[in-house]
Structure 1
Amino acid sequence: MKKKLILGSILSAAMLVTSACGGGGSDEITIGAQTYTDPKIIAHMVEALVEEQTDHEVKIIKDISASPQIISAMEQGEIQIATLYSGEVYNNHFGKDEVEFTTDPQKTLEQAQKLFNEKYDFTWFDSLGFQNKYTIAIKRDFAEKNNITKMSDLAPFADQLRLGTDSTWLERPNDGYRAFSKHYGFEFKDPKGMEVQLMYTGVENNELDVVTAYSVDPQIIQLDLKMLEDDKAFFPPFSASLVARNDMLEEYPDVKKIIESLTDTIDEETMTKLIYEVDINKRDEKEVALEYLKEQGLLK
């Protein structure tokens, strides 16, 4: 998911010192989190709830480079719980005859739940309530002036709009820029690939008009951007879910209940605000997670 390049080995040696259920019978549960902010916040939510409601201790390993590394570490019993995204089911974990590509969020989620359970012995829980997926975002004043709410509304203006995107999207064959242009029937003016932060700097400096954002990017709030509806269903869904090893859930059914209590509780607007607090306001991830749980009455 968040479309990071896969870097290095699965985990550093330091990460592998401690294993829990499925690797030695300890009461310690290990949660893995990728390099981006939403899985780190979710990990701290699970940590807080588990430690308040059970006798288990929780260890969080952060900054694992990508979701495939998370899956490998879970398979080996080095971590037991993580946040993953439904579109991961299309990321070469299964044969082409096993997976049917669809942009329908529920069908994608159901495939992830079935296939990861069968092959990896994981429970892929229902969505936490938000997606972290590609979207198109434009300046809000331009959107309101021209009554633009969905991606197809850009057609009359696209050849005048400067597009900034991360470089990989320009090159990807199936869900990248060329496929998008063909799907929607228009092309942007002079599309440029760049690092994500430079993309948002370009919008701020009036050098770009349109960007490929992720649906929970805090810069959407910071720069007052309008996220457009994917009305022709081009982008694959990436619904966030907690995923756990089945042997751990069988041994600790109280943890399963805690995970289930978080499903469908955090929508995209809420998660974007939580990430904003961490990435823009530079607050601690754990502090933000605990504050949210207390506001929702989930934590004392």
Structure 2
Amino acid sequence: MKLSINPSSTPLRALAVTAAIGLALSGCSLDDEPKAKSGDLAEEASLDGASLTVGGKEFTEQLILCEITAQALESAGADVERKCGLAGSNTTHTALTSGEIDMYWEYTGTTWISYLKHTDPIPDAQKQFDAVAKEDLAKNDIEWLDPAQYNSTYAIAVASDTADELGVKTLSDYAKVANSNPEDASMCVNSEFEARNDGLPGLEKKYGFDLPSDAVKTIAMGTIPKAVSEGDPCNFGDMTSVDGRIPALDLTVLEDDKHFFPIYNPAPNVNKDVLADNPDIAKVLSPIAEALDEEAIQKLNAKVDIDGLQPEDAAQEWLQEHDFIG
């Protein structure tokens, strides 16, 4: 599949690298609940007799992707155990490499930098995907399936009226404010963004500013959009570019005018042996990846974060709207 991603589109990502897998929040198996009914996906693939464990990280987008995957696989006949909501990127990746889960959706930028330990991202989405897929398979026995058609990268956002007041449209504008008046540049971050090279430390180096410690507020990722919209305890904050609360709360995403943030294109990561035993997994998930673009995931995120739908209900609605499941 060819990627239709604009690397310079609104700048995302992931959460605290904490907790061992045993302490991670994990979803439970829904074996006692009805499986997703068969739809178009089941016409092209069969997973009868397969027992699969689907995982995912703990933020909204990942909870939705985990449920979409689980229900899609169930519709094709698989028995699925859910471990949605694992705490942090490293925990979730380790769950896959250790065999605790069979698959989850990961991001090209995260794997390239955090797991494969490369310093410089590849600015072309397709080349980045190809490089990640090749190296991750060789080193970790992880197969990368067709990617979704959006870039879930980091974004630095601010309330639109505050952006107008401070005269900031780009991250270069922000750096000027940070250097002249750090109090106005106060930033809410989650603990993972605060520590990652592709997070705050790298951002400061790239744009030439150094926020004092009292201007950085470390809070839970899910609370950052509301905090930014209210300007309490910060005016700016890191979030994902596809967060449904950006338009709902009238936030402005600052343009990454120096193209610092890597491309974070999500794709299902599947254990090589699991995929070899169940090759129709790829047939089930490929149409889903094709249909998941930036508009689709932002609307799904908004259904959960704004409308209050449960991730499993938002996932089911979307799958049924596309006739993927019955």
SS in 2 for 1:263: helix
Partner of 1:286: 312
Output the amino acid matched with 1:261: P
In the TM superposition, what are the counterparts of 1:95-244 in structure 2 within 5 Å? 99=118, 101-102=120-121, 104=123, 105-143=125-163, 149-154=169-174, 159=180, 161-166=184-189, 168=191, 172=195, 174-177=197-200, 179-185=202-208, 191-196=215-220, 199-207=224-232, 208-244=234-270
**Deviations 1:1-52 (Å, cap 9, x if unpaired)?**
613122023577x9899xxxxxxxx621111122122222122222222222
Q: Number of residue pairs matched? A: 289
Alpha carbons 2:147, 2:265 under 8 Å: kept: yes
Output the amino acid matched with 1:133: T
User: Would you say 1:42 and 2:65 are equivalent positions?
Assistant: yes
Structure 1 residue 257 displacement after superposition: 0.7
Structure 1 residue 71 displacement after superposition: 2.8
User: Which 5+ residue runs of structure 2 have no aligned equivalent?
Assistant: 1-12, 30-48
Q: Which has the higher contact order (CA 8 A, sep 6+)?
A: 2
Partner of 1:20: none
Output the amino acid matched with 2:50: D
User: Which 5+ residue runs of structure 1 have no aligned equivalent?
Assistant: 18-25
Q: In percent, how many aligned pairs have the same letter?
A: 25
Partner of 2:109: 87
**Deviations 1:79-112 (Å, cap 9, x if unpaired)?**
2121111123245534x5xx46215244432232
Alpha carbons 1:87, 1:236 under 8 Å: kept: yes
Structure 1 residue 167 displacement after superposition: 5.8
Q: Find the aligned partners of 1:255 and 1:40 in 2 and give their Cα distance.
A: 19
Q: Find the aligned partners of 1:102 and 1:270 in 2 and give their Cα distance.
A: 26
Please provide the CA RMSD for this pair. Answer: 3.4
Question: Structure 1 residues 287 and 209 mapped into 2: Cα distance closer, same or farther (>3 Å)?
Answer: same
Question: Structure 1 residues 290 and 88 mapped into 2: Cα distance closer, same or farther (>3 Å)?
Answer: same
Question: Which 10-residue stretch deviates more, 148-157 or 284-293?
Answer: 148-157
Q: Find the aligned partners of 1:90 and 1:174 in 2 and give their Cα distance.
A: 12
Question: Structure 1 residues 180 and 77 mapped into 2: Cα distance closer, same or farther (>3 Å)?
Answer: closer
User: Would you say 1:60 and 2:89 are equivalent positions?
Assistant: no
Q: Find the aligned partners of 2:161 and 2:324 in 1 and give their Cα distance.
A: 38
Alpha carbons 1:132, 1:238 under 8 Å: kept: yes
